[in-house]
Each structure stands twice: as C-alpha cells, then as structure tokens.
Chain A
Amino acid sequence: MNPLVVERIVKNYGEKTAVNGLSLQVSEGEIYGLLGANGAGKTTTMRMVLGLIYPDEGAIRYNGQAYSKEQLHNLGYLPEERGLYPKVKVNEQLVYLAQLRGMSKKAAEVSLKKWLEQFEVSEYYGKRIEELSKGNQQKIGFIAAVIHDPQILILDEAFSGLDPVNVELLKAAVKGLRDSGKTILFSTHRMEHVEELCRNITIMHRSNPVVQGDVKAIKKQYPRERVMLATDRDVTGLETLEGVRYVTKHENVTEIGIASEDAAKRILHHAQGQADIERFELMQPTLNEIFIKTVGERHE
C-alpha cells in the first residue's frame, strides 16, 4: 500500500479544466517529480493532495484512506513562496506551526533545535524572519514543513531562488528525508534537480499528464539525437553528411544533431578520416530536452 495514491483526479474551474485525469502513486522513500510549465495544473494538484480543494472526480488516498482532518498531521507542506510571518521570531512561529499540527510545545522545541543545527543556523533561533537572507528564510520555511515529522511531504519549488551552496544543503536534507522513508511529492521546473532526485515523474501540460513514469524508462523512449565529438584537429564537412541536422562548435567540443542513430556511425567514420578522436558520445536526451519537446510540441 503506497502512502500516497492519486487516482484519475479531475478538477474544473467553471468551464476551464485545471487538472484532467491525473493518476500517480508515491511509495515510501520516494521523491516523485511533478513537472510542468506555469499554469499546467501543478499547484491545483498539490492543493488537492493537501485537501485544500476537493477533486471533482477521482480520489486521493493516504495510506489507503480517504482525506480527513486527521491527515493534516501527516502532511508537511512547503509553499513556493516561503510561508512565514516576517515579523515573528523563528522559534515562536515554528513552534506555533508545529503545535497547530498536533505537536507538543516541548517536542517542537527539540525538533526545531535539531533542524537548525543540521542547517548550521542555530543562531537564528530568536531572530525575526525579516532579518534573515532569502536562503536562510527558505531553510526556515523548509523546517516549518518538516518540524512535525510528517509522513508525506509536499514541496513546491523548494529550491527556487537559492544559491548553489544552499541548494546542495536543502537537497541533502530532502535526500535524507527520502532515505528515512518519507513520501515526497516534489514540483519544480529545474530539470537537473529532477534527474538527481526523482525516481518517477509526471510532466503536465495544459492540465493533462503527457509524460509519466520512471525517469530512466522515459529517457529510453526518446531517441538519442545528439552526438558530442572532440578531436585533436578540426573536422570539416560534417554538415554535408546524411542525417545531420545541425553542427554547433563549442569551445572544446562539437555538438551534432542527428535525425537517426545511423547518422552517428557516419559521423564517427567521417571524423576518423580527418583527425584523432578524443571523445565521441551518443548522448541520452536530458529531461530538459524531453520536457521542451513534449511541452513544446503540443504548444499549438
């Protein structure tokens, strides 16, 4: 029994359909990626999972049960824009939020201190949020989502607007939570995070789930359409080869777009005739490409 199961949910706002028949399952110790352009239906989906709004059709099950108020203690939520009181001290508001999710004051204090230590920001314990930098505010927001040790975590654009150091820090925390068996629903439009963190993904486009499944499997479905070539001397005439769509020379490597994998062999053959090959790689499509392809293709 997966902790979070979404079954063919549909949500209409008047004439407009916001989410159209989305199904997904997130197991224990898994980060599930929910991708999509702005307005694709991610936020509506998350709000339904959080029980803020109810699906018109379909169902959402938490450990096999329908939504109820008791589930609130099981859920942790990090909104896209840090949801914190700017003028209230860190300890006061985090303990308050933890108490609202059914934690005792004492336990909340302990948990808060532990998390502040993990993020190496113990000195912010008694500071107001408005005094902190954006990255540190995001850390506090993250702590607010996990302080009550929820089983299911919903992270909306958790890493947006952070510097690389803080991204790594939060990423490590998310991975830690995953390894401790949490069920995490993760939305973003930063594909490199998805490739690193998520086992399964759904790409949503205009309310519809358009690509779904295991990240590796999805990648395999898409043909390899790029070759990276590095040689000791310049190679000419690549453009004239059959099946070559474009040639882009980067500083140390040449990127060649191909129509089919046959063309790769011709490129290798052609290059070998002119120079010594330092690198030849038939690239797997990145999620970024897949995303742009699926979303872009259906764009009109």
Chain B
Amino acid sequence: MSKFWTVVGFTIRNKIKAKSYVISTLILVAIISVVVNLPYMIDKFSSDAPDKIGYLTASTEEATQSSVTPSVVGDQMREYFSKQEHPDYEFVPIENQNSDEANEQKLLDALSNGDIDAYATFEEDGTSFPAMVLHADKVYSETSKANMQAALQSIKTQFALQGLGLTDEQQTALFSQAVVDSVKVDISNGEAVADDTKEKAGALYGAVYLILFLLFMTIMGSGQLIATEITAEKSSRVMEVLITSVSPLTQMFGKIFGMFIVGIGQTALLVAAAAVNLSLPHNESALNNIGVNIKDIPLDVFIYAIAFYLIGYFLFATLYAGVGSLVSRTEDLGQAVMPLMFLNLGGFYIGIFGLNAADASFVKVASFIPFFTPYAMFMRIGMSSVPVWEIMISLAVLLITTFVCGWLSAKIYRTGVLLYGKRPTIKELRKAMKAYKL
C-alpha cells in the first residue's frame, strides 16, 4: 500500500511542478475570470439606447386621406415600441417636406448627423397594406426584422379588425395568447413535483450541462495524460526498472489515482475561480438574471453527479492506461487512443443532445451502455424523472464494466509494457499474454 502512495505522490509532484500544467491552469483561470465577468463588461460598454428609426410624417396631400398611409403606420409603430419596457427601437417622426427629393435629402441628413440610426419608408404595392423598407448603413439581422415584422403584423391586424366592427371584448378574446406550460411530474404517482418552476429548470439545465462538460474535459485531459506518461515511461525504458520494483497493478492504479487528484485539483481550482468571480458584488445579479440559483438544484443530482463522475473517470482512465502501455513511441499514441476519444466524445454528445430530448428512446438505450452511462444516465436523472431501478441497473452495469476493464487493462498493461516495436495486434497481444502466463 505504501508503494501505491509513493507512485501517487510521484505522479502528482511531477505533474503539478511541470511548467505546462502551471501555465495551462493559469490561462484557464484567466479565461474563466474573463468569461464570468463578460456580461457585466458588455453591459458597461454597450449603450441601452434603442435604435432610432426615422419616418416621414404625413404630407399635406396625405393628411386629407383617411386610408392606411405610411405616416399612420409609422405612428402606430412608434406607439407599439414606446409601450415596451425596454424597446429595441424608437420610431422618430421626421417632418414631411412635401417633395420626394427634399424628403430624401432630409432623411439622409438626419441619418448622417446621427439623429437617427435608420429610416423607414413604406411602399404601397397595390395591396391594402404598405411594405416597410429599412434604410441604414448596416444590415438589420433576421431577429431585428422578425421583431419589426411582428410589430407591423399586429398593426395590420388591428387595421383589418377595425373594418369588421368587432366589440372590444371580441377583440380582446382574439388577441389573448394561447398558453403552453411544462410541469415535471413524479412518475410513480403522476403528481407534479413541487415548486418545479422555470427558474429551477434553468439552474438544472445549466448544472447538468456544466457537469457533462467537466466530465468530458477531465476524462479527455487526464486520459490523454495517463496514456502519454505510460508510453513515455515505456519508450524511455524506465518502465523496465519500474516493473522490477513494484507490481504493475500498483503502478498503473497509482498513476491513475495520482492523475485523478491532479485533474480534480485543477477542476476545483477552476470552479473556485468561477465562484470567486461570481461572488464579486457587480456580478451578484448576473446569475439571477439568467434564472439560475444553485440552491434550486436538488441534492441527489449532485450525489449522482459525483458517483457517475468517479466511475466514469476510472472506466476511461484504465482503458487509456491499457492503450498507453501498448504503444512504444509517443508519436504513435494519438492514433491508438482515437477509439477511446470517439467513445468519450459520443457519450458527451448524447448527453448534450439529451438535454433537450431527455426521453428520446436512443438516449434511454445509451444510458445503459456503460461507456455512455456517465453522460446519458446522469443527464436523464437531471432533466427527467428516472425510476430508481433504472439508475441502479445502469450503475451496476457501469461498475461491472469498470472492474472488467480495470482487470483487462491491468493484464494488457502487464503484457504491453514488455512489448516493443510496432503496436501489437490483438492476436499478438493474446499470444504474448499466454506466453507470459498472465
């Protein structure tokens, strides 16, 4: 046992003293600090003022007409946006000069001296309602256009309704929105899970996403490091000295555990950096604004997160160690770990996909496939209601697979570290295992 800790200690010391580790950790901390403060900074630098959009008031000729004229639509648009709490647009009337040329000149002047950000003209195309065209020195995004279209649509509807002579009640009935709401229920009794509000769902979504991401990053980062270190030990032949000093099993699991501590340490540091930044006074409301409150996340999600995180890590780490032991040169490693990378990436994507479709049948199936379980099953627990027996079965399958893979990797490791030259095929590996009597 003491040798196990010697290996763990050596692995940790070497890793955290490495310049690459220190620098990459510092960079990550810096990035996280910036990202956390980004909303605040954007807020500081961007003005909230709405885009001013100019439109022409009625010409003297127009004023005598009673139908839908451009200026009336413009007035309606102005009214529509002025009623909003934080309007993105403000419609500004520009006095009509009663001549097309003078009008255009007037609008362009207003645009160029910054009185307005854009101006709207209305083209009567023969239908009953004019089309709006925005003129600006930028192109309005589809979202902006959609916003504007919604406004125009509602104005158009109103005009149309006026002609029908409906009562106010009838109009209200027509305009009231249909409502769709979502309630998470407990499967066992069909009752709504208490106080499961939208904010809570937001917090859960965020937390599950974050944990999936962290798991993915830890497995990929640590796995790669474990494999690289083992291959490096093999190619520098330290391995031959090591396996004559300490049993391969102790050595392999010591390395995996040491790397786990290093990885967890780094993750903890990053989470701490994020927490410190979030607790800065100016960021206080940031989380609340996007509807995330950590207290809203149920405790069992955290417990499952830790369980799946740990088992998932060790499952992949042993496999990475096994693969690392088969490769003689670090140059060949990238190719050898490719299948593991895809396996990990696949699990991660299934998890991310499942965030919006937790009950898709292939997500359910994937949650029982051990290599995907840490992602898929954990995501299901967070985002939907999963019967306990399903969780237990998937956990059991995952645990058994982890033990089998650990055992197999240990055997591969024991054999692989003595095989030099080209990467052995499975057949050659089995032959070597038999020959070594392992």
Residues of A within 8 A of B (CB): 11-14, 47, 50-54, 56, 69, 72, 75, 77, 79-88, 92-93, 96-97, 99-101, 144-145
Contacts and interface: CB of A to CB of B under 8 A. Distances in A.
Interface string B165-178: 00000000000000
B247 A50 contact: no
Residue of A52, A81, A86 contacting most chain B CB atoms (<10 Å): A52
Which 7 residue pairs are nearest across A and B when measured between Cβ atoms?
A83-B237, A100-B245, A83-B241, A79-B240, A83-B238, A100-B246, A81-B237
Residue of B6, B233, B245, B436 contacting most chain A CB atoms (<10 Å): B245
A243 to B, nearest CB: 49
B233 A85 contact: yes
B146 to A, nearest CB: 57
A262 B82 CA distance: 126
B244 A72 contact: yes
Contacts of A144: 241
A96 B244 contact: no
Main secondary structure of the interface of B (DSSP, over half): helix
Interface string B299-324: 00000000000000000000000000
A81 B241 CA distance: 11
A234 B245 CA distance: 62
B179 to A, nearest CB: 64
A52 B243 contact: yes
Interface in B1-27: 3, 6-7, 10, 13-14, 18
Contact of A85 (B3, B238, B435): B238
Nearest to B14: A88
Interface band, chain B? 20 to 34
A92 to B, nearest CB: 7
A99 B237 CA distance: 18
23 contacts: A13-B432, A13-B435, A52-B240, A52-B418, A53-B436, A53-B437, A54-B437, A72-B246, A75-B244, A77-B241, A77-B244, A79-B241, A81-B236, A81-B237, A83-B236, A83-B239, A85-B238, A87-B14, A88-B14, A92-B10, A97-B241, A99-B6, A100-B242
B379 to A, nearest CB: 39
A14 B431 contact: yes
A92 B435 contact: no
Nearest to B9: A96
Given A52-B418, A54-B437, A100 B240 contact: no
Interface in B321-367: none
Contacts of A100: 3, 6-7, 242, 245-246
Contacts of A52: 240, 243-244, 418
Interface in B240-268: 240-247
A126 to B, nearest CB: 13
Contacts of A82: 237
Contacts of B243: 52
Interface in B205-248: 233, 236-247
Given A54-B436, A79-B241, A83-B238, 8 more contacts: A14-B431, A52-B243, A56-B437, A75-B244, A81-B236, A83-B236, A83-B240, A96-B10
Contact of B244 (A51, A80, A92): A51
A145 B244 CA distance: 10
A38 B55 CA distance: 92
A227 to B, nearest CB: 45
Contacts of A50: 244
B418 A96 contact: no
Given A92-B13, A96-B10, A100-B6, A14 B435 contact: yes
Contacts of B18: 87
Given A13-B435, A99-B6, A84 B238 contact: yes
Nearest to A50: B244
